[in-house]
Structure 1
Amino acid sequence: MQRIHIIGGGLAGFTAAITAAESGALVTVHEAHHTLGGRARTAEGPYRTNEGPHALYRRGPHWTWLDRRNLLGPVATLPPLEGARLRFRLDGTLRRTPPLALLRLSRRAEQAPVDTDFRTWAIGQVGEAGARAAAHYAAVALYHHDPGALSASFVQERLRRAAALPPEARYPVGGWAQVIDRMAARAWNLGVRIETAARVDPDTLDALTRQGPLIVATSLDAARTLLRDPSLTWDSGRTALIDLALRTRRGDAFAVSDLDAPGWIERFSAQDRTLAPAGQQLVQGQFPLAPGESRAIGIARAEELLDLGHPGWRERTVWRREALASGRTGAVDRPGTTWRDRPAIDRGNGIYLAGDQVAAPGLLSEVSFNSGIEAALLALKASENRTTARTSTAGLDLKQA
C-alpha cells in the first residue's frame, strides 16, 4: 500500500492514524511542535491546565471509540456534593437554580428549525428572558459571544447535552495529555511513524502527495495556508481564557454560569485533584468576545463572576494565566446551515481534511474524532484504488512486453 501522511498530531490526527493503521496502511504523522496533542495538550508542572477541551461527553461517538481500544483511561465524574454547588448569575445575583425556562428548552423533544436563529425560536417557546438565559448557558459548549444568533437546531442540540441529567461530561484524569499519550502509544505499536518538530509547508506538500493520500489534521486557518485554499473558512468563536490556582476554601462554587452574558467558570480540580497541588484548586473561566472586544473586557467579566462564586479569590491566588483563543474553539453554524455545509473532508486529488471545523457532526472534540475517522477511511480507499491502478498498469505493460 501507499504511505498515508497525516499533518497534525492532535486528536484528529491520531484518530486518523490509528484508523488507517488498523487496516494495515503505512502511516506517518508529522507534528510541527516538539510535543504532541495540538489543542489537547496539558501543561507541564504543578498546574495541569488544558489548552483545549476539558471534558468527554459519554454519549458521544469518540467515547465508545476510545473505550473499545482501551485508550480512554481513568475518567473522573463530578462528586454529587460538588454538583450541588453549580451556581447561576441572573440579573446580577447568584442563584442556586436555573430559570425554569432554561430547563424547559433543554428538555424539549421537538427539534428546533435549522433555518431560524435560536433567539427567535426560543422566544416563541419560553419568552424573551428565558430565551436569553438559555442562549447564554449554551455558550459553555459554543465559545461564541452571541449564541442566540446561531442556528436554532445547532444551539438546541448543545444546550440539551450540556444541561443533561445526569451530566454527560467525564474528565480524563491528569488532563487530555494522558489520552494523547495513550493514542500515540497505540499508533506507535501499530507501526505508525511519528515525527515531531516536523513542520510541513506548501512547498514540500507536493512531495508528500506523490507518496500517497494526505490528511491535513490542523486548525482550519493552518489548513487554508498550507493548501493555499482561500475557501477553507467557517465561523468560530473568540474567547478570553483565565486560569487560576487558588488556596482552597470550603464553600467555593463548583461552577458559575453567567446567564446575563455568555461566560463560564469551573473548578476543574473538584473532579480531578491531580490537576493542582494539595491545598490548592484549579479554576478556569472562558468568556466569549464580540468582534473588536479586547481580552481585557473578557477578563473583567471573569473577575466579576469570581467575586460572586469565589469570595476572597484575589488574596488566595497563587498562580494566574490569561489567554485569548481566536478561531480555535470549533465550528458554529449560522441559520440555514448545518455541519454538512462546512468545508468538505474530501478536498480532491488525494487530500483530506480533519479537525473541529469541518463537515462532520458532533459536539466540541467529537467533530475532530468523526472527521479523523472519515478522512482515514477515504484515504484508505484512495490508496487501494491507486495501488490497484498501478498493479493493473504494470500487468498490462508486462503482457504487452
Structure 2
Amino acid sequence: MRHITVIGGGFAGLTAAISCAEAGAEVTLYEAHHTLGGRARTADGAYATNEGPHALYNGGPHWPWLAARDLIGPLARIPLREGARFRFYQDGALRRTPPAALLRLARHRDAPVDAPFADWAAARVGEAGMRTAATYLAVVLFHHDPGQLSAAFVQERLRRNVKLRPEARYVRGGWGAFIGRMTRYARTLGVRVETATRVDSLDALPAGHGPVIVATSLAAARKLLGDDSLVWDSGRTVLLDLALRSRRGDPFIVSGLDVPAWVERFTAQDRGLAPAGEELVQAQLPVAPDEGKADGLERAERLLDVAFPDWRDRTLFRRAALAGGRTGALDRPGTTWRDRPAVRRGDGLYLAGDQVAAPGVLCEVSFTSALEASALALGDGRHVGSERSPLDLNHS
C-alpha cells in the first residue's frame, strides 16, 4: 500500500480520497476548517442554507459513481403542484412562459469555441433573444454577462438546463447531509481525516506523505504552492438568504430575463430546511467587476418586491454575502477546459477542483479532476500520452 495525501475536504477532496482508498492506498486528508465540505457545507441552525444554489445533475458522470456507493441519499421532490409558479421576471413584472429564444437555441449543437456566445446566439435569434438567453444563463455560470464567454462553453450549459426533464436534482436536507455520507464512507475505507489542520507548506507534511492532491480553491492552491500560473476566470455573485413567514401563492422559482437574477424558495421542495410556518428563500445575483454587494442587493430587493409581496414585513432572518472567485471556471472565446491549469503538476503533485483542466458542468469539473488526479497519483498512467483521456470519452 502506498500513501497519498489530499489537501482540502470539499467535494473534490472527498472524491479523490475515496477513489484512492478504494484502490488500496493509505490516505490522509487535511482540511483547514473544523468541518468538511468546502463550498458544499450546509449551515447549522434553524435555516439549512447552502453557499449558493447546489444541485446534482443526473446526466453527469458523477451520478452513477455516487449512486453505486449509495452516497446520493434521499432527494427532494420537485414540487409539480408548484410548477405553475415558476415565473420569469422581465420589465418589472412576472411572466409565465419561457422566452422562445431559449428553446430555439437549445436545439443547436454547432456552437464554436472561438466565438463569443453573444455573436453566435444573435445570429440565430436576434440581439434581443440573445440578451434574454444570456441573462437567463447567468445563474448557471455565476457570471453577469455570459455573452462574453465562449459560445461552446455557454451552449453546453444551455442544453443541459433547457429540457423537458431538467437534470438538476436537490439533496434532501441540504448538501451537508450529502457531504456527511461521503465523509462516513471515506472513514469506513480507512481514510484518515484531519480537520482544523491548515497546510501552509508542503514542507510541513510528514515524511512519507507520498503523492499530494491539492483539492482547494485555485486561489488557495496558488498560495500554497507559490505558483502564480494557477489562475483562471471565475464569476462574482451576491447571495441573499431570507427566511419568510409562509404565505400562500409565493412562487417556487423566479428567473430574471433582463437582469441576471435567480430566486428560489427551497422549502417548496424540502420543508425541513426551515421551521414550520417559514419559507427559506435564496437569491443569487451575478455582479460585474465594477459592482459590489450593494448593487446585487438592490436588484434582489426590486425583484422580491414584485415576486414576494410584503416580504419585508415577513422577514425573520436575513444574510447576504458576495462570493468572488469561488464559483467555477469560465472559458473565454478561444479556450476550453484543456487550457485551464493542468491536473498533473509534476513531482508527485496534482490539482483537483472546479477551475482545473477537466470537463463537465459545475461540480462535475471537481469530480472528473479528482478522479484524474487519483488515477495519476496511484500510478495509473495508462492514458498518459494518448490522444484522448478517459475523461474525454465520458464527455464526447
TM-score, with structure 1 as normaliser? 0.93
**Structure 1 contact 113–151 (Cα < 8 Å) conserved:** yes
Per the alignment, residue 159 of structure 1 pairs with: 158
1:243 aligns with 2:250: no
* Counterpart residue type for residue 259 of structure 2: A
- 1:83 positional shift: 2.1
User: Which of 316, 325, 329 is the matching residue for 1:331?
Assistant: 329
Partner of 1:361: 359
Q: 1:238 to 1:254 in 2, by over 3 A?
A: same
Query: 1:62 is matched with which residue?
Result: 62
Q: Find out whether 1:11 has 2:11 as its counterpart.
A: yes
Instruction: Give the Cα separation in 2 of the matches to 1:52 and 1:345.
Output: 26
1:222 — aligned with what? 220
8 A Cα contact 2:92 2:303, kept in partner: no
Distance in 2 (alpha carbons) for counterparts of 1:383 and 1:193: 26
Report how far residue 52 of structure 1 moved. 4.7
**Cα distance in structure 2, aligned partners of 1:371 and 1:156:** 22
Q: Which residue pairs with 2:299 in the alignment?
A: 301
Distance in 1 of aligned mates of 2:136 and 2:61: 24
**Offset at 1:383?**
11
Instruction: Tell me the residue number matched to 1:50.
Output: 50
| Residue deviations 1:221-269 (CA, integer Å, cap 9, x gap) | 0000001000000000001110000111111111111111211111111
SS in 1 for 2:210: coil
Q: Which amino acid aligns with 2:228?
A: P
* 1:374 CA displacement: 0.8
Partners of 2:336 and 2:310 in 1: CA distance: 44
| 1:392 aligned partner | none
Cα displacement string for residues 8-67 of structure 1 (whole angstroms, at most 9, x for unaligned residues): 011000000000000000100000011110000000011000125421111111111110
1:87–1:255 CA contact under 8 A, matched in 2:
yes
User: CA shift at 1:2, angstroms?
Assistant: 2.5
Q: Which residue of 1 aligns with 2:203?
A: 204
* 1:347 corresponding residue in structure 2: 345
State the distance in 2 between where 1:208 and 1:243 align. 41
Distance between the aligned counterparts of 1:23 and 1:138, measured in 2? 39
- Relative to structure 2, which stretch is displaced further, 240-249 or 158-167? 158-167
Is the Cα contact below 8 Å between 1:21 and 1:191 reproduced in 2? yes
Per-residue deviation at 1:312?
0.8
Shift of 1:381: 0.6
| Matching residue of 1:20 | 20
Poorly superposed stretches of 4+, deviation over 6 Å = none
Aligned twin of 2:394: none
Counterpart of 2:83, as a letter, is G
The question of whether the paired residues in 2 share the 8 Å contact of 1:209 and 1:350 is answered with no
Equivalents in 2 of 1:383, 1:158: separation in Å? 31
Structure 2 distance, partners of 1:259, 1:246, is: 24
Residue 307 of structure 1, CA deviation: 1.1
Q: In the aligned structure 1, how far is the partner of 2:159 from the partner of 2:327?
A: 19
Count of residues paired in the alignment: 382
Question: 1:143, 1:260 → 2: CA distance?
Answer: 15
SS in 1 for 2:378: helix
The 5 Å alignment of 1:212-291 reads 212-291=210-289
Q: CA RMSD in A?
A: 1.5
Gaps of 5+ in 2: 383-396
Partners of 1:43 and 1:196 in 2: CA distance: 17
The aligned amino acid for 1:359 is A
CA shift at 1:110, angstroms? Answer: 2.5
CA distance in 2, matches of 1:119, 1:245: 37
User: TM-score if structure 2 supplies the norm length?
Assistant: 0.94
Q: In structure 2, what residue type is equivalent to 1:303? A: E
**Residue identity opposite 1:24 in structure 2:** G
Partner of 1:30: 30
Conserved in 2, the CA contact under 8 Å of 1:37 and 1:177?
Answer: yes
Cα pair 2:52 2:284 within 8 Å, conserved: no
Letter in 2 for 1:67: A
Q: Is the 1:2–1:383 Cα contact (8 Å) retained in structure 2?
A: no
What CA distance in whole angstroms lies between the structure 2 residues aligned with 1:166 and 1:3? 43
2:101 pairs with 1:101: yes
Q: Secondary structure at the match of 1:327?
A: strand
- The secondary structure found in structure 1 opposite 2:365 is helix
Using the TM superposition, give the Cα deviation of residue 294 of structure 1 relative to its aligned residue in structure 2, in angstroms: 1.3
1:117 corresponds in structure 2 to 116
Evaluate the alpha carbon distance shift between residue 156 and residue 383 of structure 1 in structure 2; reply closer, same or farther with a 3 A threshold: closer
Matched-pair contact (CA < 8 Å) for 2:52–2:239: no
Show CA shifts across 1:252-298 (max 9, x none).
11111111121111111111111011111100011111112110000
Contact 2:139 2:285 in 1 (8 A): no
- The 8 Å contact of residues 143 and 329 in structure 1, kept in 2 or not, is answered as yes
Unaligned runs of 5+ in 1: 385-401
Distance in 1 between residues matched to 2:341 and 2:206, nearest whole Å: 22
| Cα gap change, 1:202 to 1:383, in 2 (>3 Å) | farther
Q: 1:169 to 1:383 in 2, by over 3 A?
A: closer
Contact 1:2–1:211, Cα closer than 8 Å, also in 2: no
Q: CA deviation at 1:71?
A: 0.6
Deviations 1:167-219 (A, max 9, x none): 211110001011111111111011110000111012635x4585310000000
Supply the distance in 2 between the matched residues of 1:209 and 1:130 (Cα, whole angstroms). 59
1:178 aligns with 2:194: no
User: In the aligned structure 2, how far is the partner of 1:22 from the partner of 1:2?
Assistant: 12
Question: Residues 75 and 209 of structure 1: is their aligned pair in 2 closer, same or farther, counting only changes over 3 Å?
Answer: farther
